[in-house]
Amino acid sequence: MGGWRVLDPSRVSEAVEELAARASLELPKDVESAIAEALERETSSLGRYALGMILENAEVARREGLPLCQDTGMFHLFVELGEGVALPHSFQAAVDEGIRRATRRVPLRSSLVDLPIRERRDRGDNTPVRVHVSGGGPEGEARLTLLAKGGGSENATSLHLLLPGEGEEGVRRVVLEAVRARGAQACPPLVVCVGVGGDAGEALELALRGLLRPVGERNPRGDLARLEEELLAEVNATGIGAAGLGGDTTALDVHLQEAPTHIACLPVGVVLGCHALRRSTALL
Amino acid sequence: MAGGNGIRVATPLTREFREKVSAGDRLLLTGGLITARDQAHRRLVEALERGERPPVELRGEVVYYTGPTPAAPGRVAGSVGPTTASRMDPYTRRLAEEGIAACIGKGPRSPETRRVLAENGVLYLVGIGGTAALLGSRVRALRLLAYGELGPEAVYELEVEDLPVLVAYDLKGGDVFSHLARL
C-alpha cells in the first residue's frame, strides 16, 4: 500500500473551481459542432433561428465571460479513480469549496434552496455538489468530470419500471413518450440519455452518465448502437424541433447504456439533456 | 447575425401593436421590463388575493420569467435567459387580470393559460432557452424592485436594447407550438 497517493484537498478545490468556471462558460466542442451540423441540415425557418441563436450564444459566452445559461445548474462531479489513488476524508468539503469559489468568481447564479417543501431558502453557494465515485481512471491519477445540470431539463427526467417482457419495444415506447411529453420544456436540441437495468436508482444514474459520452459517439455494442441510431431518427421525426419551435432537430444524439438487473425488473431511466450540455474534465 | 433580425419595438407594448403581431414574428425589444419567476409570482398573487397592492405596478408591464446570474464587477448584468413558462401557469390568470401586456418565457403553456392570455390581450413571447449570455448582453440597466431576499427570484427592473424574442401566442389564436399538440 506504500505507493498510494491521497488527493490533496486544496488541489481538489482548485480543480473543481476551474472546471466549474470552464463548464459554465464554454460549450464543449463536440456539442457545438453537432449544433453547427444540425443548423446546416435544418429545413425549418424557426428551427434555424433557434439553432443560430444557440451558436451565437456560445460565442458571446466565451467572449464576454458570461454563463451560457442563467440557470447555472446543479453540479455533479464524476470521479474515476485510477490504481494507486485514494480520496481524502474531506473530499466532499473540498469539492464544495471549489464550487463556492466558482460561484463567487464567475459569478454563477445561486440555484439551490434549502427546505424545499416550504421555505425554499436560497443557499447562496450552489453546494452541495453530488459526487459520483467509480474506478476506471488512468493509473496513478483521478479523472474529474464536472457536469452542470439545469432545473428545466431536470424536471424532464423520468423513471419507467417496465415488465421484463416489454423488452426493446417497451424501451422505445417510454423513450418516445418522455420526449413527446417533456422534450419541448427541456431546451431541445436534446441529448437523450437512457439507462436500462440495475435498480431504479442505477437506471437513472446510467442515464445521467450518458451526458458524459461525447455527442456522436455510439455505444460500442453493435445492437445498442443500432438502437441508439433508430431512436435518434424517431425522436427527430417527432418534429418538436430546436426550442420546441418545430423542425428536424429535436435531439443531437441518443446515448443508451445497459446494466444487469433483477429477473423481475426492467427499469428504464430517461434523462433529457439540454443543448447547453455543460461538462469539463481534468486529471488530478 | 442570428440575434440581430426582427421587428424593432419599444416597451410599453401598446394594445394596437399587440393586436397586429402574429405568432412566429421575430421582435427586438427595447425599453423597460420587469422580471418575475416562481417565488415572485407566488408572492404577487398572494398579495393580490389578500387585497393588498403588490410592491410593483403590473399594469402595462412586460414580465420576463427569468432569474439572472449576478453581474460580474464592471458589468451591468450577468446572463438573463427565459425559464420554463408553464411553471407560471397557475399564477398567470391573476397577472393577466391585473393588466400585464406581455410575458416572456420558454416553451408551451397549458391550453387554459393560452386562452386566458388571449382573453386579456396578453402576448406570450419566447426567448430561446439556454441563450442567456446573448440575451444578457442586451441588458443596459438592472435594478432591484422587490423581494430582494429571494436572490435570483427577486423582481428586477431591466432596461434592454434589441432583446431578441419571438411571438409564441398572438391575440388571434396563432401558436408557434401548435405542432406539439398533435404529438
Domain CATH for A268: 3.30.1330
Q: Is residue A113 domain-shared with residue A168, that is, in the same domain?
A: no
- Check residue A3 and give its pLDDT: 83
Question: For residue B77, what are the CA distances in angstroms to A108, A129, A151, B2?
Answer: 12, 26, 21, 21
Number of compact structural domains in chain A: 2
Does A177 map to a domain?
yes
- Check residue B4 and give its pLDDT: 56
Please list every residue in chain A whose beta carbon sits closer than 8 Å to the beta carbon of residue B39: 120
Asked if B72 and A60 come within 8 Å (Cβ–Cβ), the reply is no
Does A255 map to a domain?
yes
Please list every residue in chain A whose beta carbon sits closer than 8 Å to the beta carbon of residue B150: 122
Q: Is residue A272 domain-shared with residue A186, that is, in the same domain?
A: yes
Distance from CA of B7 to the nearest CA of A (A): 14
Does A125 map to a domain?
yes
- Say if CB A205 and CB A133 are below 8 A apart: no
In this structure, are strands A142-149 and A74-81 parallel, antiparallel, or unpaired? antiparallel
In this structure, are strands B62-64 and B26-35 parallel, antiparallel, or unpaired? parallel
Radius of gyration (Cα) for chain A, nearest Å? 19
Domain ranges across chain B: 2-171
- Mean pLDDT estimate for chain A: 97
Q: Is residue A118 domain-shared with residue A250, that is, in the same domain?
A: no
Q: Is residue A122 domain-shared with residue A174, that is, in the same domain?
A: no
Better-predicted residue by pLDDT, A112 or A3 = A112
Peptide bond into A67 cis (omega under 30): no
Residue A70 has pLDDT above 90, yes or no: yes
Residue B2 has pLDDT above 50, yes or no: no
Q: Which three cell numbers stand for residue B139?
A: 441588458
Is pTM beyond 0.90? Reply is yes
Question: Which residue in A has a C-alpha nearest to residue B65's C-alpha?
Answer: A70
Domain closes at, from A149, A176, A209:
A149
When pLDDT is averaged across residues B98-119 and rounded to a whole number, the result is: 97
| Residue A183 domain boundaries | 152-276
Please list every residue in chain A whose beta carbon sits closer than 8 Å to the beta carbon of residue B70: 107, 109
Residue A125 CB-half CA count within 13 A: 12
Which string of b and e fits A203-232 if b means at least 16 CB within 10 Å?
bbbbbbbbbbbebeebbeeeebeebbeebb
Grid look-up 439553432 returns A51
Residue B78 has pLDDT above 60, yes or no: yes
Better-predicted residue by pLDDT, A121 or A256 = A256
User: pLDDT tens for residues A92-128?
Assistant: 999 999 999 999 999 999 999 999 999 899 999 999 9
Does A50 map to a domain?
no
Query: Which CATH number does B2-171 carry?
Result: 3.20.130.10
Q: Is residue A183 domain-shared with residue A196, that is, in the same domain?
A: yes
User: What value, to the nearest 5°, has the Cα angle with vertex B101 and ends B46 and B152?
Assistant: 55
- Check residue B1 and give its pLDDT: 43
Q: Is residue A156 domain-shared with residue A266, that is, in the same domain?
A: yes
Q: Is residue A144 domain-shared with residue A180, that is, in the same domain?
A: no
d(C-alpha B36, C-alpha B46), whole Å: 14
Residue B7 CB-half CA count within 13 A: 16
